[in-house]
Amino acid sequence: MKLFAVLITALTLATQPLAAQSGGRGKQVVVHAGIDEGGLVLGGDFLVNDTATESYGGYLRLYSKDEEKGAPAIFALGASGRGHVKVGIFEYFLSPGFGLIHHNLRDSELLFGPTLTYGLTADLDQYIGLGVENTKLYSWVGEYKGLIKDTFLAHVRFRL
């Protein structure tokens, strides 16, 4: 529980400069949901548009635990940049980033490493879009190294 409080505090402090700098720029909130071997997966992104094809922000992912299947509970939190190209009503994107991963199966481990997300969003109107994406979480430090999670998630994007 203490680790969770520390992570939330760090996220709050880290996003303060981001919110202050994002003044008149367009923002996006993306809500994710899916199912993997451990069960329910939930997540979200907050993005600030830098240019018409680039944005930056943070991500949060929560993966359920299933000990019988060997699927760990994962809490991932980090920052990413996103390149996106709009073709008709579709927006294709690629989003590399870095972050912390709290990995909990038999023991609790804090990991750090890169993340890669790519996907497609279809605009329903100028404010809302539906899509699908693939998120890969990697670890460079800790007991678990390499690819930690590879999941496909559905998402809803809201432009603010």
Adjacent-strand bridge partners of 134: 118, 152
Q: Which residues contact 133 (CB under 8 A, 6 or more apart)?
A: 32, 93, 117, 118, 119, 120, 152, 153, 155
d(CA 154, CA 132): 4
Q: What is the CATH number of the domain that holds 96?
A: 2.40.160.20
Question: By residue range, what is the domain housing residue 154?
Answer: 2-159
Count of structural domains within the chain: 1
User: pLDDT tens per residue, the chain (160 residues)?
Assistant: 455 444 444 445 444 444 444 455 799 999 999 999 888 999 999 999 999 899 999 999 999 988 888 888 999 999 999 999 999 999 999 999 999 999 988 888 899 999 999 999 999 999 999 999 999 999 998 888 999 999 999 999 999 8
Q: Specify whether the CB–CB gap between 6 and 14 falls below 8 A.
A: no
Structural tokens at position 2: 């203490």
pTM, 2 dp? 0.80
Reduced to 3 states, what is the DSSP secondary structure of residue 22? Answer: coil
